[in-house]
Amino acid sequence: MKLSLLGATGAAALLALLSANAFAGGKTKIDFWYGNSGDISKRVQEVCQHFNESQKDYEIVCTSQGTYAGAVQNTIAAYRAGQQPTIVQVFDVGTLDLMLSDAYYPASKLMADEGYKVDWNNYLPGIRGYYATSKGEMYSFPFNSSTALLYWNKDAFQKIGKTEAPKTWEEAAADMKALKDAGYACPLGFNISADESWQLLEQFSAVNDQPLATKDNGYGGLDAELVFNKTKFVQYVTDLKSWYDQGLAVLKSKESGEEMVPAFASGHCQMILTSVGDHGTIGRTAAPDMHWSVAMLPTYAGIERKSSLVGGASLWVLQGKSKDEYKAAAAFLNFIAQPEQALFWSTVTGYIPVTKTGYDFMVEKGFYKDPKYQGREIAIASLTASDKLSQTHGTRLGGFLQIRNEVANGWQAIFANKVSVQEGIDQMVERGNGILRRFEATYKGKQLP
């Protein structure tokens, strides 16, 4: 993604028009575009409403773009037309694309310019490390943050004599077989769509300390190359394919007639790997008599567990707006950073607090002792399971949305028995590296911030 600023004359005319509209009704009005849909979209709207009700100077208009990818693509088009929002939500893998553009107003500079003193070290290390530059500067505000967990049905496990979730994949394989023998048709539900690359490839590689790419997973330069066809990931895919062939792991998707999260909530599948952000949905939709919990993702035996990755999205402020609109943006970003908002957001969604003060405030209020929310603290423990290493602070790879699509294509070929596991993963890497080289050529001469 390469965004170019408007010409000076066009920008001045647009700014005058936007400024006139911004003060309609005596309030400075700004737009916030986001990619969430469904229940999460309703919760974003509540955050916006709370901000509007908390003060009288500003009004934020929040509009869903349907998906994360939609939010980014629609913003690119709007920016080129000079109709961009003031704030846009950009998902984790779009971070590098924004960093290399000229389209944003760095969050750290914005807040300082508007007189807010932000302790950026207050952000949880795994979250700060993902979104910060090499110098530790924050260009965006972490917003909806999550990580992946193992969800497991305690009732089903009790029937096979187990009271704890598996800690290793070897143990998980034995549990799947026992569940199958006990009559459960779906011991493990999984999905191989592009979005699920986050669980199956990226999170797996992080907790098992396996690299995705050279150059510190891309943090060291745009000339990074994918290498996950030479790591423990190959064994993982081999095992998953074997479990699938044995009926121990079952594909759950729209195409199969039942998606993964509802399959777990209904009791049709006894384990799934998904975001802590789904904790609230499962809590609201699971049968009242169903006992379930969450655990850290399994690792392979003999591997020292490392921290899982942060997922979700952050908020970027865009160029081309008036001074008063930037005041409004800073006020909104300051509002959502308050501990009280962390409590509200985590309560209604399942996402984790992004700051230490937010987490401490939730602990103080007894959030994690409430039966409805017990287990969500495991996400924090997973994100902080080890000191930050190259595999655990994320990826800084360009075109990663397209790379995820190629990973999904490889999964499809493997599970359709069109290629062997190694051939399928080699193809993922080959096509993904082609995307990286095109991205590098697009930003030739650019240095990573």
Residues 207-231: tens digit of each pLDDT: 999 999 999 999 889 999 999 999 9
**Residues 36, 43: Cα–Cα separation, whole Å:** 9
Task: Determine what percent of the chain is predicted with pLDDT higher than 70.
Answer: 93
CA-based angle 35:381:285, to the nearest 5?
50
Q: Which two tokens stand for residue 356?
A: 């230490």
Q: How far apart are the first and last CA of the chain?
A: 16
Question: Is the pTM for the entire model greater than 0.75?
Answer: yes
pLDDT of res. 294: 97
pLDDT of 11 above 60: no
pLDDT of 32 above 90: yes
pLDDT of res. 234: 98
**Residues 215, 207: Cα–Cα separation, whole Å:** 19
pLDDT of res. 392: 56
pLDDT of res. 135: 81
The full length of the chain comes to 449
Closest CA relative to residue 276, chosen from 135, 150, 175, 136: 150
Residues 375-403: tens digit of each pLDDT: 999 999 998 888 755 555 678 899 998 99
Q: Which two tokens stand for residue 5?
A: 């600023």
The contacts of residue 89 (CB under 8 Å, 6+ apart) are 32, 33, 34, 35, 36, 68, 71, 143, 144, 313, 314, 315, 316
Q: 324-338, 360-374, 415-429: which has the minimum mean pLDDT?
A: 360-374
Domains of the chain in start order, with CATH, are 8-146+311-365 (3.40.190.10), 149-308+380-442 (3.40.190.10)
